[in-house]
Amino acid sequence: MTKAKYLFISLAIVAIGCTSTSTSGKLPIYGNKIFEENDTIYHTIEDFRLVDQDSSWVTNATFEDQVYVSDFFFTSCPTICPKMKQQMLRVYEKFEDNGQVSILSHTIDPKHDTVAVLKDYASKLGIKSSKWKFVTGDQDYIYDLGEKSYMVMADEDPEAAGGFIHSGAFLLVDKDRRIRGVYDGTVDEQVDILLTDIDKLLKEYESTK
């Protein structure tokens, strides 16, 4: 088992162990939760500020009134990233014309993955930057965001192929910044579930209108 695969499995198990229970048929809410009187405070994605392939700032406000799928990758990755890219393209193609769904990919190698490199990478994929954001920033900041907000890990490892180990997880984030699903982005069947869960999540919001 590769280190990246191990990271995904172990962290997904931790996340599932913290999942809220639901009898309403809604998707679970991942992460720790705090009970305060008659209210429940759920784990949410913290405020962030990164720059995308168009040199534009990307923050939580970028995804206001949207759900989004997040992952962590690097453009020169020789192992799981090519598979993740193909699987994320499936998400892009299905929801390309749906303004309520976006994709956010964080590089874990910002020293190499400059704005120009990300721009070229995105251009070769033929995607709309308004739909799929490739973001970069300070490396420690991105690693901290991944661990504390998205419950995934990445690290430099000179012994690993490409020099990094990282999770292959796709994270489904709702309009309230909560993680609603964790999927192995290297497995077709897992991404099949993600595609279905995005539809479920959108219907969940429709039902509250």
Angle CA(54)–CA(59)–CA(143) in degrees, nearest 5?
90
Average pLDDT of the chain is 88
- pLDDT, tens digit, for every residue of 149-158? 999 988 777 7
CA pair distance 52, 80, nearest whole angstrom? 22
pLDDT of residue 117: 98
pLDDT of residue 193: 98
CATH number of 3-19+64-207: 3.40.30.10, 3.90.1150.10, 3.30.110.40, 2.70.180.20?
3.40.30.10
71-90 exposure pattern, b = at least 16 Cβ within 10 A, e = fewer = bbbbbebebbbebbbebbee
Q: At 56, phi and psi to the nearest 5?
A: -100, 145
pTM of the model: 0.87
pLDDT of residue 67: 98
Enter the tokens of residue 165: 């180990």
The burial class, CB within 10 Å (0-12 / 13-18 / 19+), for 104 is buried
- pLDDT, tens digit, for every residue of 99-145? 999 999 999 999 999 999 999 999 999 999 999 999 999 999 999 99
Mean pLDDT in residue range 3-26:
45
Sequence ranges of the domains in the chain: 3-19+64-207
- In the predicted structure, residue 23 carries a pLDDT above the cut 60: no
Q: How many CB atoms neighbour CB 116 within 10 A?
A: 10
- Decide: helix, strand or coil at residue 136: strand
- In the predicted structure, residue 202 carries a pLDDT above the cut 70: yes
Report which of residues 21 and 97 the model is more confident about.
97
